[in-house]
Structure 1
Amino acid sequence: MVIGGGQNAEHEVSLASAAAISRALRSSGHTTSEITIGRDGLWRHHQTPLGSSVISSMAEALAVVDQADVVFPAVHGPRGEDGALAALCELAQTPVAGSGLRAGAVGMDKWTTKLVAEAVGIPTAPGCLIRADEAPDVEFDTAVVVKPASAGSSYGVTLARDAAELRQAVRTAARYDQRILIEELVHGREIDVAVLREADGSRWAPPPLEIHTNGLFDTATKYDGSARFSVPAELGSRDRAALIDAALSMFDALGCSGVTRIDFFLTGAGPVLNEVNTMPGMTAESQVPRMFAAAGVTYADLVSRLVAGASCPGLPAR
Structure 2
Amino acid sequence: MGGYSSEYEISLNSGATVVASLDKEKYQVYAVHILTEGWFCVIDGERFTIDRGDFSFKDASAKKVTFDACYNTIHGTPGEDGKLQAYLELLGIPQTSCGFYESAMTFNKRDTLSVLSSYGVPMAQSVYVNKGDEIDMSFKNLLAIKVGYPCFVKPNRAGSSYGVSKVYKEGDLIAALDNAFKEDNQVLIESFLSGTEVSVGVYDFGNGAEVLPVCEIVPDGDFFSLEAKYSGKSQEIVPARLDERETADVQGLTKGIYELLGLKGICRIDFIFHEGKPHFVEVNTNPGLSKESIIPREFKAAGLLLTEVFGEAIEVAIRNNS
Is TM more than 0.5 here? yes
Equivalent residue runs for 1:1-318 within 5 Å: 4-27=1-24, 29-40=26-37, 42-46=38-42, 47-50=46-49, 58-59=52-53, 61-62=55-56, 67-134=66-133, 135=135, 136-137=139-140, 138-139=143-144, 141-198=148-205, 200-213=206-219, 214-311=221-318, 315-316=321-322
Q: 1: CA distance between counterparts of 2:25 and 2:289? A: 16
Residues 138-147 or 266-275, more deviating: 138-147
Q: 2: CA distance between counterparts of 1:164 and 1:132? A: 19
State the Cα RMSD in Å: 1.9
Letter in 2 for 1:173: A
Q: 2:209–2:258: 8 Å Cα contact kept in structure 1?
A: no
Letter in 2 for 1:144: C
1:199-247 C-alpha deviation (Å, 9 max, x unpaired): x242111110000113111111111111111000121111111101111
What displacement does 1:32 show?
Answer: 0.7
Percent identity over the alignment is 29
Q: 1:27–1:300: 8 Å Cα contact kept in structure 2?
A: no
What displacement does 1:119 show?
Answer: 2.0
What displacement does 1:60 show?
Answer: 6.4
Q: 1:90–1:312: 8 Å Cα contact kept in structure 2?
A: no
Q: 2:23–2:311: 8 Å Cα contact kept in structure 1?
A: no
Q: 1:66–1:92: 8 Å Cα contact kept in structure 2?
A: no
1:169-213 C-alpha deviation (Å, 9 max, x unpaired): 100000011110000111010100110111x24211111000011
Residue matched to 2:61: none
Q: 1:144–1:161: 8 Å Cα contact kept in structure 2?
A: yes
Q: 1:17–1:74: 8 Å Cα contact kept in structure 2?
A: yes
Evaluate the alpha carbon distance shift between residue 61 and residue 204 of structure 1 in structure 2; reply closer, same or farther with a 3 A threshold.
same
Residue matched to 1:54: none
Q: 1: CA distance between counterparts of 2:181 and 2:319? A: 34
Q: 1: CA distance between counterparts of 2:243 and 2:263? A: 27
Count of residue pairs brought into register by the alignment: 305
Structure 2: gaps spanning 5 or more residues:
59-63
Q: 1: CA distance between counterparts of 2:25 and 2:210? A: 23
What displacement does 1:124 show?
Answer: 1.0
Q: 2:97–2:265: 8 Å Cα contact kept in structure 1?
A: yes
Q: 2:209–2:259: 8 Å Cα contact kept in structure 1?
A: no
Q: 2: CA distance between counterparts of 1:11 and 1:30? A: 25
Q: 2:201–2:298: 8 Å Cα contact kept in structure 1?
A: yes
What displacement does 1:311 show?
Answer: 4.9
Q: 1:194–1:260: 8 Å Cα contact kept in structure 2?
A: yes
What displacement does 1:312 show?
Answer: 8.2
Q: 1: CA distance between counterparts of 2:103 and 2:71? A: 14
Q: 2: CA distance between counterparts of 1:10 and 1:148? A: 13
Structure 1: gaps spanning 5 or more residues:
52-56
Letter in 2 for 1:205: V
Q: 1: CA distance between counterparts of 2:33 and 2:301? A: 31
